[in-house]
Amino acid sequence: MRLRVPPGAPAALKVLAAAAAAPAPVRPHLGGPAERPQAPGPELELQLELDSGAVLFSPNAICQYFYLCRGEEPTDLTTQWLEWEATELQPAVAAALYLRLVQGRAGPEALGLLQPLLAHLEQHLARSGTSHLAGDAASVADVVVWGSLFPVLQDQTSLPSELQVLRSWFGAVSASEPCRAAAALLPEALRELRGHLAQHPPHLPGPPREPQQDEESPERALTDDDIAAAVEIWARGPAALPPPREPQTPVLPVAGERNVLITSALPYVNNVPHLGNIIGCVLSADTFARYSRLRRWNTLFVCGTDEYGTATETRALQEGLSPRELCDRYHALHADIYAWFRISFDHFGRTTTPQQTRIAQDIFQRLLARGFLLQDTLEQLRCESCGRYLADRFVEGTCPFCAYAEARGDQCDRCGKLINAVELQNPQCKLCRGTPVVTPTQHLFLDLPKLEGQLEAWLERTWAAGEWTANARHITRTWLRDGLKPRCITRDLTWGTPVPLDGFRDKVFYVWFDAPIGYLSITATYTEHWERWWKNPQQVELYNFMAKDNVPFHSVVFPCSLLGADDNYTLVNHLIATEYLNYEDGKFSKSRGVGVFGDMAKDTGIPADVWRFYLLYLRPEGQDSAFSWADLMLKNNSELLNNLGNFINRAGMFVCKFFGGTVPAMALTAEDQRLLARVTLEMRQYHQLMERVRLRDALRCVLGISRHGNQYIQVNEPWKRIKGDERDRQRAGTVTGVAVNLAAALAALLQPFVPGVSAAIQGQLRIPPERCGLGPGLTCTLPAGHRVGTVSPLFQKLEPEQVEALRQRFGGGQAKEPPPASAPPPAPAPNTSVAPGDPKLIQELTEQVTKQGNLVRQLKAAQVEKAQVNAQVAKLLELKQQLALAEGRSPEVPKGKRKK
């Protein structure tokens, strides 16, 4: 392993201290900034290059990896501390260091910013009675929190005298050998950090302000009113849930109800969607659509494949098919991918329909009649060899802005700027590789400047009432700031919606005029009453989901088309745009075999709901994010398995094991009531976040509720109380009943995110369908006497070997399709010392593995020297490899272990 640590990196101390815990050798490189590929700007970045070639960039993930290497699995408590350090402590420490290092303010003033956080640490350590944050032994949580605090405190005497427990903890961690060695670098690190903070000042907290009504945090102190309200909701039971809706076919708006129309950006039919495409549009839209239905709102969710345009015609030529044949093939492929990911479209259609032609031509005729179209000469590239004008995607060349040599004729993939094909340097025809010439041709333009006033007035009204993501507003303002220009809406193609105007009948509509109209036409193929959705702005709320590159067409071009057509069209109320999801440290590339694409995900053996969970967990809402195999394993094993799955399984198993499968009677104590209030506040926050389409944060609320449940069980220990006297047994019953009702609530809260897992919980607990709605708080939906079914684990652990094999498989270098899932992995070169299939040898090796595993566990429990443990671990791994060979398995890809 090679660890790159710029000396001024804010996280250097904790990473270097954690590195000392790694059993494998780590080669620290202390020098300059990390050389992250394609990293924008001179940021102080750390990175850990693993021997496998993988690279980790998150400091906390690096620290946790070092502890995983020495066999310490993350616990709920360590995961919570790492999240707290990243979201609460880090920003406060950065602000304190800025005051001290850059502005030269006195120590007490800087330390004052940390006072509430230090008090939180003091209270936890005092209450827990343990010497460290997550138990009596130092863990990754202690190193990470210490590493953030040390640059500000430097020694425990800097802490206020009343924080005696915290001072003791800080002194003990600082005295440990790994932390002492890391602290020696502090003077040089602070000098570097001062320059970094001067150039990148952190956000400094302003004066305290009253929280708004919708910003209520579930971590605030509980009041008597909170507790009383939660108890009242609990007592109402199923009556607190919204009544079920009678299903409609087709779904149509209903007067007096909340009618929600949801669209997802139409995927290009000939592009197989990768994970970034899926989270950027259809998965995000599906999550909100499922939430909307749970709230019993009248909801229609439509999408479909965008099938016209240059890209389709180009691919059809490449594959020797007609455009229609190509679209038929890829439409089915898209439908299969989204069905596997459990995307719950009410209708998944396509744009190559008579309805598309009719509606697009009607909008065109209305724009023409109202004077919003222009005729003008457009200089276009023409290939004389092919005898045709070349549409944008039939041309490649050098980008005039960034000099990228493979820019398309409509947009550069490197810098993202929109370009005209004639602006390309060194253009080439993609069909024959000849050099096209610029030739004038007549085209039609949408007169955007004439519509700019209407657009700005509409935007002002919509932004005041709707939820638009910050990037959607920024991109739209940028277009308006630069002034709108007429935009061409026709193209010299044969595959598209025909232009119904003399002199232009040999042309088709340009895809960015035509494609958004697909939302309307796809709805029209779903129901003949489509206008009740799309010409009904008084009764319908429209949500558009997309990635940020699609924003201007949905916030400027398409709204101008509908405003100009002047036919009472439903315009977008809520425009939800994500940033980009990257793959590891680069981009997805089908041609280079880099990244996971939709048609490959099901062949990984990882369930669809795990993919959904992880993509939503790292959904790129405020900035680009990156898929990481190591992080996927970490989140699956810690959040899904150890947190969520552990709680729900324990709650159901207690009912089966201690009470014969029947929910026991419950007599709530003050402690139980406080749990109800805390969970109800979390659920209120969940609703607020979901309504604002902050899906990632809402998912974290669900995980927080599960942590409350785990802590509740751990503190009350029903497995012990059930063996006690009558009072203890009654307490065990109450705790079990409350816990299983909390598990039932989690089934509903999880449904938008992981619907398969939600259905499994509902089946195991036998929750009636009418009790699966989302109420205002925690309700007693499974009363005493309710019988649960068979309870079994919901998740399976991901093993490092399994994940590493997948990382290599999707890491590039092989653009060929992977072998079928049923095909065995290639066997390694045979080991002559091991005879495959020998029953006697298999038995002997199995016994040796068991014996060696017990020895390793005993050494770890005795806390012997790390080198001694590592030597025995290496021996264990060697025995496991020999056993794998003896059984005819590949030692590089052993079978995943299953939870029993």
DSSP string, 28-78: EE-SS----TT--S-----EEE-TTS-EE--HHHHHHHHHHHTT----HHH
Residue 318 pLDDT level (bands cut at 50, 70, 90): confident
pLDDT of residue 194: 61
pLDDT in tens, 66-106: 888 877 877 767 878 887 888 788 888 888 877 766 666 65
Give pTM, 2 decimals: 0.68
**75-84, 104-113, 346-355, 446-455: which range is least confident on average?**
104-113
Higher pLDDT, 675 or 592: 675
Give 830's pLDDT tier (boundaries 50, 70, 90): very low
pLDDT at 817 over 60: no
Contact 559, 552 (CB under 8 A): no
Whether the per-residue pLDDT at 895 is higher than 50: the answer is no
Give bridge partners of residue 437 from the DSSP assignment: 382
pLDDT for residue 200: 54
With bands split at pLDDT 50, 70 and 90, how would you rate the model's confidence at 896?
Answer: very low
Lowest mean pLDDT among 76-90, 492-506, 575-589: 76-90
What confidence tens digit (pLDDT) does each residue in 182-201 have? Answer: 777 666 665 666 655 555 55
Instruction: Give the residue, 879 or 428, on which the prediction is more confident.
Output: 428
How many angstroms separate the CA atoms of 206 and 612, rounded? 38
Q: Which pLDDT band holds residue 859 (cuts at 50, 70, 90)?
A: low
**pLDDT band per the 50, 70, 90 thresholds, residue 792:** very high
Burial of 362 (0-12, 13-18, 19+ CB in 10 A): middle
Kindly state the DSSP code that residue 569 receives in the 8-state scheme: P
Instruction: Compute the mean pLDDT over every residue in the chain, rounded to the nearest whole number.
Output: 84
Quote the CA–CA distance of 848 and 864 in Å, as a whole number: 22
- What is the pLDDT confidence band of residue 834, given thresholds at 50, 70 and 90? very low
Rounded CA-CA distance 464/458 in Å is 10
Query: ω before 6 within 30° of 0 (cis)?
Result: no
pLDDT score recorded for residue 156: 65
Q: What burial letters (b/e) apply to 879-898, b meaning 16+ CB within 10 Å?
A: bbbbbbbbbebbbebbeeee
Residue 894, pLDDT above cutoff 60: no
Lowest mean pLDDT among 83-97, 311-325, 686-700, 790-804: 83-97
The residue ranking higher by pLDDT, 390 or 572, is 572
User: What pLDDT, on the 0 to 100 scale, is given for residue 550?
Assistant: 93
Residue 219, pLDDT score: 54
Say if residue 205's pLDDT is above 90: no
pLDDT of residue 837: 54
pLDDT for 37: 36
Binning pLDDT at 50, 70 and 90, where does residue 42 land?
Answer: very low
Pairing outcome for strands 373-383 and 540-547? unpaired
Q: Kindly report which listed range (44-58, 474-488, 492-506, 814-828) carries the lowest average pLDDT score.
A: 814-828
Interacting residues of 545 by C-beta distance below 8 A, sequence separation 6+: 262, 263, 264, 265, 281, 282, 284, 285, 288, 576, 577
Instruction: Spell out the residues 6+ positions from residue 142 whose beta carbon is closer than 8 angstroms to its own.
Output: 132, 133, 134, 169, 173
Give the pair of three-digit tokens for residue 672: 């139980």
Give the pLDDT confidence score for residue 15 in this predicted structure: 87
Q: What is the pLDDT of residue 821?
A: 35
Q: Give the model confidence (pLDDT) of 209-240 as tens digits.
A: 333 333 344 456 788 999 999 999 999 999 99
Closest C-alpha among 647, 602, 653, 614 to residue 765:
653
CA dist 302 and 279 (Å) reads: 16
pLDDT value, residue 871: 67
Amino acid at 640: L
The confidence band for 10, taking pLDDT boundaries of 50, 70 and 90, is: low
Among 193-202, 624-633, 800-809, name the one with the lowest average pLDDT: 193-202
Residue 853 and residue 845: Cα distance in Å, rounded?
Answer: 12
Please state the rounded mean pLDDT for residues 351-358: 97
Judge whether residue 595 has pLDDT over 80.
yes
> For the CA atoms of the chain, what is the radius of gyration?
30
**Across 509-521, average pLDDT:** 95
What's residue 833's pLDDT? 38
- Contact status, residue 842 vs residue 887, Cβ threshold 8 Å: yes
C-alpha distances (whole Å) from 373 to each of 493, 510, 816 are: 20, 14, 47
So what's the pLDDT on residue 108? 63
Could you tell me the pLDDT band of residue 897, with boundaries at 50, 70 and 90? very low
Say if residue 729 is exposed, middle or buried (CB neighbours under 10 Å; 0-12, 13-18, 19+): middle
pLDDT of residue 196: 58
More confident residue, 552 or 135: 552
Higher pLDDT among residues 167 and 39, named by residue? 167
Report the C-alpha gap between 275 and 587 in whole angstroms: 11
Check pLDDT > 50 for residue 782.
Answer: yes
Q: What percent of the chain has pLDDT over 70?
A: 84
Of 134-143, 153-162, 872-881, the range with the highest mean pLDDT is 134-143
Average pLDDT in the 476-488 region?
Answer: 91
State residue 601's pLDDT score.
Answer: 93
Q: How many CA atoms lie within 13 A of 650 on its CB side?
A: 24
The mean pLDDT value for 383-400 works out to 84
246-281 pLDDT, tens digit each: 888 999 999 999 999 999 999 999 889 999 999 999
Mean pLDDT score, 796-802:
93
Mean pLDDT on 31-59? 56
Counting residues of the chain whose pLDDT is more than 90, the rounded percentage is: 53
**Residues pairing with 286 in the sheet:** none
Q: How confident is the model at residue 352 (pLDDT cuts 50, 70, 90)?
A: very high
Q: Give residue 26's pLDDT band: very low, low, confident or very high (50, 70, 90).
A: confident
Residue range 168-188: average pLDDT?
80
Buried b (16+ CB within 10 A) or exposed e, 132-149: bbbeeebbbbbbbbbbbb
Residue 349 scores a pLDDT above 90: yes
